[in-house]
Amino acid sequence: MHTVSSISLAGGQGKTTVVLFVARLLAFQGHTVLLVDADPQSSLTTFLGHTVEPDNPTLLEVLKKQVNTEDGIYKTQYDNLFLIPSDDALDNVQDYLAGSGTGAFTLKKRLASVAKLFDYCIVDAPPQRSQICLTVIGASDALMIPIETSVKGLQSLIRTLELITELRDDQEAFNGEILGVIPFRDRWVGLRRTTESESNIESMKQISTQWLESDLVLPSIRESEKFKQAINKGLTLHQMHQDDLAYPIEVIVEKIKGLK
């Protein structure tokens, strides 16, 4: 099982959207996929239509080893797609991870027991530097970094790359691959990208080259209501005949399938 996480240290950067559509395309292609909602805001759990019942275990109980990992996994409405959900109680795991001594590797250890059951695990990380974020990165074979095409997005990109570099250089908690930076909400007017989006994507390329010594900016995800409609209808972008919008997701999926 390859574990790939979506990380960006600000809200509204497209992390959950990317996770959902990447996972659904992998599942649609016949791969078994485990989704992990590691964000206490639980947007991924909500998008999948999963209701956390009071007595049902979530990621909180899995991380604290109060249940076996497989007992925290639920089927979704989609074939081949499974979920470890979260709710706002997940914030309570921060002290546990901080005091464990090996918090950065806790999620990796918990997922090891189910690794043979799935082809891929896709994780939605919280939008801030936290103990949960650190354990998500520590569990990851690769990272994808969605970034809104805005000034706020550029600031998030710098903070995210700072954290990844720190974990690589100082703590060695992440030795995986960065799949790429994914421009999100790329705005177009007619057949032309707006000047603001053009400028911000160019800045992403410069920041990526500065921090990673390579331009890892992938095809952008355009701003479109079709994504929300696809989520609400439970359809893939291909099923909605939105092949152009699906192209960036296809690129990410192929990069994930190419992981060794």
Q: Round to whole Å and give the CA distance between 17 and 39.
A: 13
CA distances from 200 to 23, 153, 193, 216 (A): 27, 9, 11, 14
CB 169 within 8 A of CB 205: no
In a domain, 203, yes or no: yes
Q: In this structure, how many other beta carbons lie within 10 angstroms of the beta carbon of residue 223?
A: 16
In a domain, 257, yes or no: no
Confidence of residue 104 (pLDDT cuts 50, 70, 90): confident
Write the pLDDT tens digit of every residue in 21-50. Answer: 999 999 999 999 999 999 999 999 999 999
In a domain, 258, yes or no: no
Domain that holds residue 35: 2-252
In a domain, 259, yes or no: no
The predicted structure's pLDDT at residue 169: 79
- Structurally, the chain folds into a number of domains equal to 1
**Average pLDDT estimate for 121-131:** 95
Predicted confidence (pLDDT) at residue 102 exceeds the cutoff of 90? no
**Average pLDDT estimate for 175-197:** 93
CB 209 within 8 A of CB 215: yes
Q: In this structure, how many other beta carbons lie within 10 angstroms of the beta carbon of residue 157?
A: 27
Write the pLDDT tens digit of every residue in 52-72. Answer: 998 899 999 999 999 999 999
- Average pLDDT of every residue of the chain: 93
Q: For a pLDDT cut of 90, what percent of the chain falls above it?
A: 82
**CATH number of domain containing 193:** 3.40.50.300
Q: Round to whole Å and give the CA distance between 89 and 95.
A: 12
